[in-house]
């Protein structure tokens, strides 16, 4: 603006050392780079000193010019605007000034009054007094995101219920689909995190990534599903070639899986190129981390499914209940931050969700334990109706309750099953330890400055965002079942699996010795063969 006094640094004469009296460059002992650095440093120092004097003098016109310069230099930093702007120190009216001028002001209470465009409430805070964090329910904009999240949750829960009703094999297929989607999201993140200038290199390593994924799938599901695969194909005489191939695969499953991994390892070594070593080894490490953290953990759910759908359904449901309850309690009552990694998590949401999850686990376990198709284990890969003798664990009995439960059972006795007690243990883990899977994912996303792993689920993010706690729960439920519930006895399926791994001569020997044992017990083998044809295939 004409006639306006300019800061001294804007019309200062060039430093005298740049030219001598004849207009020729002077010869100094320092290099041009050092002189340029000193020149920039002196100029920045002059600017900062001039600007500080202007602010102290209270010259608003000159301050606005200096403020514009500083704002350009810090690329629009909000923190610099709050520090340098005189309006943020007085009355509200800006974007974040005043106790009611925005979420920042509500947290810090830095001002009096307010009403900026991002404001949630009206002023009232003065000085530097700390105000309580705002409730999410007071921010009308949050309701839009909440309803989007609710609609997506209803669709997911409905689809999940349909697949569970369809049976064991369909649930297994669902888990495989989720694993593929999660791995795809994380492989994409790995590619963005470690960039390469060669698009051809990206494509080549993408095939290698999926080779390791298939190798992991062959090894894990070949181990978990060995018994079911053996029973299904050994009882089918219509496809002898398929049965022979599958039995050979199961017999040499370990060496086949290892060979597939070695092929991928050699492939990786031969693909190393100069100038791409860091990218290639970074991708190699990312691939193994993704397979270990995501694929192997989520695969434990498959082992739980065939022990009975209830051992899969209950742990999954508890994570869903805990997640939804934490969101609701945090939305309406949350004020106290729980952990720095996830600012939206609050103690109110955590405690409310914990109580809700424990109560829901006890009631849900009693309800689900009544259905035979949920409690019966599946010994093969069939999809037909399932019937079995109800396990003693799911039967209701009159039991004495501890003193701390006398509030809900004043008589000191309650009808409950053993499974309900195990369900309470699952609930405690789901509400106290499993959320750390979500905190781990939050820290991971913060490290790479991303909000979500994907955008497949509106209001939730990607598949990985919804499965972070589920993977932790899958491992715990499997280990808990194997440690405290699974009967440590020899079953027909486990014995058959061992027999099928033997040579033909050994199988014949087992057959002869078993027949002699039955004859010694007085069993008529001929009558046994005619009386139960289904037993003999």
CA pair distance 290, 486, nearest whole angstrom: 30
Residues 528, 529, 530, 536, CA torsion sign: positive
Residues 513, 515, 516, 517, CA torsion sign: positive
Asked which of 272, 306, 340 is the last residue of a domain, the reply is: 306
Rounded mean pLDDT, 355-379: 93
Rounded mean pLDDT, 297-305: 91
For residue 413, what are the β-bridge partners? Answer: 400
Please check the confidence at residue 10 and state whether its pLDDT lies above 60: no
Three-state DSSP state, 363: helix
**What does the block give as tokens for 257?**
């899986």
Please check the confidence at residue 432 and state whether its pLDDT lies above 90: yes
Asked which of 306, 336, 359 is the last residue of a domain, the reply is: 306
Q: Residue 127: inside a domain, yes or no?
A: yes
Rounded mean pLDDT, 30-42: 51
Q: Which residues contact 441 (CB under 8 A, 6 or more apart)?
A: 453, 464, 465, 468
Rounded mean pLDDT, 501-517: 83
What does each C-alpha distance from 108 to 23, 117, 129, 137, 142 come to in angstroms? 56, 17, 7, 19, 21
Let me know whether 356 and 444 are in one domain: yes
What does each C-alpha distance from 360 to 54, 212, 293, 317, 351 come to in angstroms? 65, 40, 29, 10, 14
Q: Which helix (H) or strand (E) is 534 found in, with range? A: none
Let me know whether 61 and 102 are in one domain: yes
pLDDT in tens, 463-494: 999 999 999 999 999 999 999 988 655 667 66
For residue 398, what are the β-bridge partners? Answer: 415
Q: Which residues contact 358 (CB under 8 A, 6 or more apart)?
A: 424, 427, 428, 431
Q: Residue 35: inside a domain, yes or no?
A: no
Three-state DSSP state, 96: coil
Lowest mean pLDDT among 89-98, 214-223, 307-316, 504-513: 89-98
Rounded mean pLDDT, 11-29: 46
Are 112 and 123 in contact, with CB atoms under 8 Å apart?
yes
pLDDT at 128: 41
CA pair distance 239, 226, nearest whole angstrom: 19
Chain centre distance of CA 246: 35
Q: Which helix (H) or strand (E) is 332 found in, with range? A: helix 310-333
pLDDT at 193: 76
Let me know whether 189 and 252 are in one domain: yes
Please check the confidence at residue 80 and state whether its pLDDT lies above 70: no
State residue 343 phi and psi, 5-degree precision: -60, -25
Please check the confidence at residue 77 and state whether its pLDDT lies above 60: no
Please check the confidence at residue 59 and state whether its pLDDT lies above 50: no
CA pair distance 293, 461, nearest whole angstrom: 19
Three-state DSSP state, 449: coil
pLDDT at 75: 45
- Which has the higher per-residue pLDDT, 235 or 428? 428
Q: Which range is most confident: 191-205, 217-231, 313-327?
A: 313-327
Three-state DSSP state, 338: strand
Nearest CA-CA partner of 514 in 495, 527, 533: 495
Question: ∠ CA 452-445-336 to the nearest 5 degrees?
Answer: 90
Asked which of 306, 326, 353 is the last residue of a domain, the reply is: 306
pLDDT in tens, 395-429: 888 888 877 777 777 888 888 999 999 999 999 99
pLDDT in tens, 316-360: 999 999 999 998 999 889 889 998 888 888 999 999 999 999 999
Please check the confidence at residue 27 and state whether its pLDDT lies above 50: no
Please check the confidence at residue 98 and state whether its pLDDT lies above 90: no
Percentage with pLDDT > 70 across the chain: 66
pLDDT at 375: 93
Q: Residue 246: inside a domain, yes or no?
A: yes
pLDDT at 149: 83
Let me know whether 522 and 436 are in one domain: no
Confidence category of residue 52, pLDDT binned at 50, 70, 90: low
Rounded mean pLDDT, 89-108: 39
Q: Which helix (H) or strand (E) is 419 found in, with range? A: helix 418-432
Q: How many CB atoms lie within 10 A of CB 104?
A: 18
Please check the confidence at residue 301 and state whether its pLDDT lies above 50: yes
Rg (CA), the chain: 34
Which segments within 237-384 are labelled E, that is strand? Answer: 337-339, 342-346
Q: Residue 242: inside a domain, yes or no?
A: yes
- Which has the higher per-residue pLDDT, 121 or 209? 209
Query: Given phi > 0 = left and psi -120 to 50 = alpha, else beta, which region is 130?
Result: beta
pLDDT at 129: 43
Lowest mean pLDDT among 74-78, 204-208, 248-252: 74-78
**What does the block give as tokens for 326?**
């934490």
Let me know whether 129 and 57 are in one domain: yes
Let me know whether 265 and 233 are in one domain: yes
Confidence category of residue 132, pLDDT binned at 50, 70, 90: low
CA pair distance 453, 460, nearest whole angstrom: 10
Q: Residue 22: inside a domain, yes or no?
A: no
Q: Which helix (H) or strand (E) is 398 found in, with range? A: strand 397-400
Nearest CA-CA partner of 268 in 256, 253, 282, 254: 282
pLDDT at 158: 93
- Which has the higher per-residue pLDDT, 495 or 533? 495
Average model confidence (pLDDT) across the chain: 76
**What does the block give as tokens for 239?**
């496809």
Please check the confidence at residue 226 and state whether its pLDDT lies above 50: yes
Q: Residue 34: inside a domain, yes or no?
A: no
Going by the DSSP 8-state scheme, the letter that residue 461 receives in this structure is B
Question: ∠ CA 472-478-480 to the nearest 5 degrees?
Answer: 100
Confidence category of residue 521, pLDDT binned at 50, 70, 90: confident
* Parent domain of 521: 502-536
Let me know whether 225 and 328 are in one domain: no
Q: Residue 399: inside a domain, yes or no?
A: no
Are 475 and 428 in contact, with CB atoms under 8 Å apart?
no
Are 72 and 51 in contact, with CB atoms under 8 Å apart?
no
Q: How many CB atoms lie within 10 A of CB 92?
A: 25
Please check the confidence at residue 264 and state whether its pLDDT lies above 80: yes
Let me know whether 285 and 315 are in one domain: no
Chain centre distance of CA 353: 18
CA pair distance 472, 293, nearest whole angstrom: 9
Let me know whether 216 and 336 are in one domain: no
Let me know whether 145 and 85 are in one domain: no
What's the total number of domains in the chain?
A: 4
pLDDT at 308: 92
Burial class (CB in 10 A: 0-12, 13-18, 19+), 141: exposed
Percentage with pLDDT > 90 across the chain: 34
Nearest CA-CA partner of 99 in 76, 137, 132: 132
Confidence category of residue 88, pLDDT binned at 50, 70, 90: very low
**């309406």: which residue's tokens?**
332
For residue 415, what are the β-bridge partners? Answer: 398
Let me know whether 295 and 312 are in one domain: no
**């209701």: which residue's tokens?**
396
Let me know whether 157 and 232 are in one domain: no
Q: Residue 3: inside a domain, yes or no?
A: no
- Which has the higher per-residue pLDDT, 122 or 415? 415
Please check the confidence at residue 374 and state whether its pLDDT lies above 90: yes
Please check the confidence at residue 199 and state whether its pLDDT lies above 70: no
Please check the confidence at residue 394 and state whether its pLDDT lies above 60: yes
């Amino acid at each position: 603006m004409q006639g306006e006094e300019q800061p001294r640094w804007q019309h200062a004469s060039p430093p005298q050392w740049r030219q001598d009296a004849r207009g020729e460059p002077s010869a100094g002992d320092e290099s041009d780079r050092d002189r340029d650095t000193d020149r920039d440093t002196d100029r920045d120092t002059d600017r900062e000193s001039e600007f500080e004097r202007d602010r102290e003098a209270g010259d608003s016109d000159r301050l606005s010019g200096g403020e514009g310069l500083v704002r350009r230099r810090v690329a629009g930093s909000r923190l610099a605007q709050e520090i340098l702007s005189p309006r943020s120190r007085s009355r509200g009216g800006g974007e974040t000034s005043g106790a009611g001028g925005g979420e920042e002001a509500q947290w810090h209470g830095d001002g009096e009054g307010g009403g900026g465009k991002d404001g949630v409430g009206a002023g009232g805070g003065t000085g530097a007094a700390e105000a309580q964090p705002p409730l999410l329910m007071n921010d009308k904009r949050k309701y839009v995101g909440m309803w989007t999240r609710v609609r997506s949750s209803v669709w997911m829960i409905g689809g999940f219920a349909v697949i569970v009703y369809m049976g064991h094999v369909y649930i297994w297929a669902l888990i495989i689909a989720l694993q593929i989607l999660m791995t795809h999201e994380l492989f994409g993140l790995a590619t963005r995190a470690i960039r390469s200038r060669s698009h051809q290199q990206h494509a080549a390593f993408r095939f290698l990534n999926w080779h390791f994924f298939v190798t992991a799938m062959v090894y894990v599901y070949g181990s978990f599903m060995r018994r079911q695969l053996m029973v299904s194909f050994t009882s089918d005489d219509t496809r002898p070639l398929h049965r022979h191939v599958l039995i050979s695969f199961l017999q040499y499953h370990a060496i086949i899986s290892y060979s597939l991994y070695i092929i991928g390892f050699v492939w990786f070594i031969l693909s190393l190129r100069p100038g791409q070593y860091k990218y290639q080894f970074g991708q190699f490490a990312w691939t193994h981390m993704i397979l270990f953290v995501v694929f192997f953990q989520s695969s434990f759910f498959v082992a739980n499914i065939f022990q009975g759908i209830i051992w899969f359904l209950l742990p999954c449901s508890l994570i869903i209940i805990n997640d939804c309850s934490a969101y609701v309690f945090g939305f309406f009552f949350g004020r106290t931050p729980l952990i720095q990694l996830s600012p939206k998590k609050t103690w109110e949401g955590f405690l409310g969700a914990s109580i809700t999850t424990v109560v829901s686990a006890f009631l849900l376990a009693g309800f689900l334990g009544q259905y035979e198709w949920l409690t019966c284990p599946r010994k093969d890969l069939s999809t037909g109706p399932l019937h079995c003798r109800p396990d003693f664990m799911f039967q209701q009995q009159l039991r004495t309750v501890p003193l701390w439960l006398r509030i809900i059972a004043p008589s000191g006795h309650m009808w409950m099953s053993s499974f309900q007690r195990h369900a309470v243990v699952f609930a405690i883990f789901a509400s106290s330890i499993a959320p750390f899977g979500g905190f781990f994912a939050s820290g991971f996303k913060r490290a790479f400055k991303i909000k979500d792993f994907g955008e497949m689920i509106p209001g939730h993010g990607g598949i990985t965002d919804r499965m972070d706690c589920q993977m932790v729960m899958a491992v715990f439920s499997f280990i808990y079942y194997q440690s405290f519930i699974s009967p440590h006895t020899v079953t027909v399926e486990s014995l058959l699996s061992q027999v099928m791994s033997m040579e033909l001569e050994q199988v014949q020997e087992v057959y002869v010795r078993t027949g002699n044992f039955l004859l010694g017990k007085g069993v008529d083998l001929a009558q046994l063969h005619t009386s139960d044809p289904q037993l003999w295939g």
